Chain A
Amino acid sequence: SQQGEEDPQALSIQEGENATMNCSYKTSINNLQWYRQNSGRGLVHLILIRSNEREKHSGRLRVTLDTSKKSSSLLITASRAADTASYFCATDAAGNNRKLIWGLGTSLAVNP
């Protein structure tokens, strides 16, 4: 079963707007990671946040983690058409033999 559940399933915004995606999970984690997948391509790692961290930034990306609510959010600021992709969260669940558990993803469309 999926550990992570992204919300929303699909998001359509205009260039320049901010995009926020959420991920909820069920069990204790070591870390949570966000990946991007362009159509027809492999997944690309964006950012990793550890269970003892609350917020992390990388360029236009901001990730937050709330372990009490078992949730994370990915914010993309000043979106561009090139940000159009699917975004996945993956959790390294504690005691799970270091496997990552994946959500079904959020499909983001950034319209020019």
Chain B
Amino acid sequence: DARVTQTPRDKVTEMGQEVTMRCQPILGHNTVFWYRQTMMQGLELLAYFRNRAPLDDSGMPKDRFSAEMPDATLATLKIQPSEPRDSAVYFCASGFLAGGRSTGELFFGEGSRLTVL
């Protein structure tokens, strides 16, 4: 049963610390999304990769957030330094986009719940 795997599931850290979240997308998928979910803002897109190339990170605070896909089996989201306002659940999702077609079904991981004290 293919699934998106995210680690860690829960992370509690202190303000100023570096946080790295990891995602293993489903094998064969060519798009990866990082979302942040809060009660107030809902799902916010942070970064979007297609064939490992970053397509859109306009929703990501560039001064402290960075997202990479070092290879097809790993996507990372790093926050340095972390702040209390970064507390949220971070989701990774993957999907397959064929050329010229619309975005199809996304498969989500279980999320990484981050608490910054």
Interface residues of A (CB under 8 A from B): 2, 30-31, 33, 35, 41-45, 48, 50, 88, 92, 97-100, 102-105
Q: Which of A35, A44, A48, A98 contacts B97 (CB 8 A)?
A: A98
A-B contact pairs, 17 of them (CB 8 A): A2-B42, A30-B102, A31-B102, A41-B110, A42-B91, A42-B109, A42-B110, A43-B93, A43-B108, A44-B108, A45-B106, A48-B105, A50-B102, A92-B102, A97-B56, A98-B31, A100-B45
Q: Which of these, A35, A42, A98, A102, contacts B42 with CB under 8 Å?
A: A102
Interface string of B43-57 (1 = CB under 8 A from A): 101001010000110
CA distance A31 to B95 in the complex (A): 15
Interface of A is mostly: strand
| Shortest distance between the CB of A79 and any CB in chain B (Å) | 23
B residues 6-22 touching A (CB-CB < 8 Å) = none
B contact residues around A98 at 8 Å (CB)? 31, 50, 97, 102-103
Is A45's CB under 8 angstroms from B42's CB? no
List B residues at the A interface (Cβ < 8 Å).
Answer: 4, 31, 33, 42-43, 45, 48, 50, 55-56, 91, 93, 97, 102-111
Given contact pairs A45-B107, A48-B105, A97-B56, enumerate 12 new A-B contacts (beta carbons under 8 Å).
A31-B103, A33-B105, A35-B108, A42-B108, A92-B102, A98-B31, A98-B103, A99-B33, A99-B48, A99-B56, A99-B103, A102-B42
- List, in ascending order, chain B residues with CB within 8 A of A31's CB: 102-104
**CB-defined contacts of A103 to chain B, threshold 8 Å:** 42
Enumerate chain B residues within 8 angstroms of A33, measured Cβ to Cβ: 105-106
Give Cα distance in the complex from A43 to B37, angstroms: 11
